[in-house]
Amino acid sequence: MKHNFGAGPGILPHEVLKQAAAAVVDFNGTGLSLLEISHRSSEFEAVLDEAVKLVKELLNVPEGYSVLFLQGGASMQFAMAPYNLLPDGGKAAYLESGVWANKALKEAKYFGEVQIVATSKESNFTYIAKDFEIPADAAYFHITSNNTIYGTQLHQFFPSPVPVVCDMSSDIFSRKINVADFGLIYAGAQKNMGPAGVTLVIIKDDILGKTGRKIPSMFNYQTQIEGGSMYNTPPVFAIYVSMLTLNWLKAKGGVEAMEQENIAKAKVLYEEIDRNPIFKAVAVPEDRSNMNVCFVAENPEHEKPFLKLCDEKGIVGIKGHRSVGGFRASIYNAMPITSIYVLIDTMREFAEKNK
């Protein structure tokens, strides 16, 4: 058995994979593969409708918001958000909390002024800056809720005088949020929702149409809303698997139940890291992520032999990002706590062998 701690594309529920595999051969008894049915067919329209319905239900999306399934990943949203929200000559505020936040603010500079309200770059993003003011004259305030590379997470969101735009790619559906606190939420699916290839967008309708610029159709949220996520051919397979995953999440008790599971998983793993003399955590305790647990070896010479032991135990995807080094255990929704204990046992075995 493999224990997949990969940062993304991340682990998916086994039952979802089985359903998806069957649909690739014969989708719902149609005699056609899911990969070859028309996206305009009633069968797929039902899938898309169900996926949108589940997003609204699981996140309690209020009236006045649209739910979209788009392509291009979160990286497309780095540009699409300012294209649609930042007027020429206007200003957007960004919190720089890691690589992905930095990439997002670089894209925004093509459309207007960008004010970095705070950064933790000087510490290699081991914490999330909190002592700052959000400018009231900004078109929006952009944040990244969870930082996969550095293992930090916003556990509370900032009150803002302007619309909040949030990249939730790596912790969407992992905990309760109040959608009404945000103007725009976007998330690549490949951590907690589905496979790579589709991006979830939840947008407040009344923040659109205020830039004064003409926007090409594919990059215009309003066009995508009017097209019901089908202005062009949508990523049929990725949306279907996302729908299956959201149904799985609902059956488990929804976001509230998943949040408690995720807190418990992270707690036992961080406790072992703090207890074990071989390892130490990267992020400051108050900002530690419940999705991506980053840690290093006290002695760098222990890194390769520990990775070798992990491989022997069926633990995969544990190597840390090159920006941080060490190890990264990504413990997304589908990761069972039993796999966490396999990792903990492996850490203890390694410590015993290297006293």
Its CATH class, for the domain covering 14-251, is alpha beta
Q: Is the pLDDT score of 352 beyond 90?
A: yes
Q: Tokens for 239?
A: 């949306």
Separation CA 44–CA 240 (nearest Å): 8
* The one catalytic residue among 2, 18, 88, 100: 100
Q: Which of 191, 204, 265, 313 is catalytic?
A: 191
pLDDT (average), residues 262-274: 98
Q: Is 167 a catalytic residue?
A: yes
Which entry of 2, 109, 167, 280 is annotated as an active-site residue? 167
Asked if residue 323 has pLDDT above 90, the reply is no
pLDDT tens string 207-256: 999 999 999 999 999 999 999 999 999 999 999 999 999 999 999 999 99
Question: What burial class does residue 215 get, using C-beta atoms within 10 Å of its C-beta: 0-12 exposed, 13-18 middle, 19+ buried?
Answer: middle
> What is the phi/psi pair of residue 175, to 5°?
-160, 165
pLDDT band at 355 (very low <50, low <70, confident <90, very high): confident
248 is catalytic: no
**What are the structure tokens assigned to 198, written together?**
């589709």
Q: 1 pLDDT exceeds 90?
A: no
* Helix or strand run (H / E) with residue 221: helix 221-226
Answer yes or no: are the C-beta atoms of 255 and 173 closer than 8 Å: yes
Q: Residues 88-116: what's their mean pLDDT?
A: 97
In angstroms, the CA 332 to CA 341 distance is 15
Gap between the Cα atoms of 170 and 145, Å rounded:
8
**Three-state secondary-structure class, residue 184:** strand
Asked whether the beta carbons of 333 and 173 are under 8 A apart, the reply is yes
Which of 157, 144, 142 shows the shortest CA–CA distance to 187?
Answer: 144
Q: In whole angstroms, give the CA distance from residue 66 to residue 299.
A: 50
Question: Looking at the domain that runs over 255-353, which CATH code has it been given?
Answer: 3.90.1150.10
**Cα–Cα distance measured from residue 69 to residue 44, given in angstroms and rounded to the nearest whole number:** 13
Average pLDDT over residues 110-121: 97
Those residues whose C-beta lies under 8 Å from the C-beta of residue 76, and which sit 6 or more positions away, are 70, 199
What pLDDT, in 10s, does the model give residues 297-306? 999 999 999 9
Query: Which residue in the block uniquely carries the two structure tokens 């203890």?
Result: 348
Contact 130, 307 (CB under 8 A): no
**What's the mean per-residue pLDDT of the chain?**
97
Residue-range domain boundaries for the chain: 14-251, 255-353
Q: Does pLDDT of 143 surpass 90?
A: yes
pLDDT value of position 212: 92
- 191 is an active site residue: yes
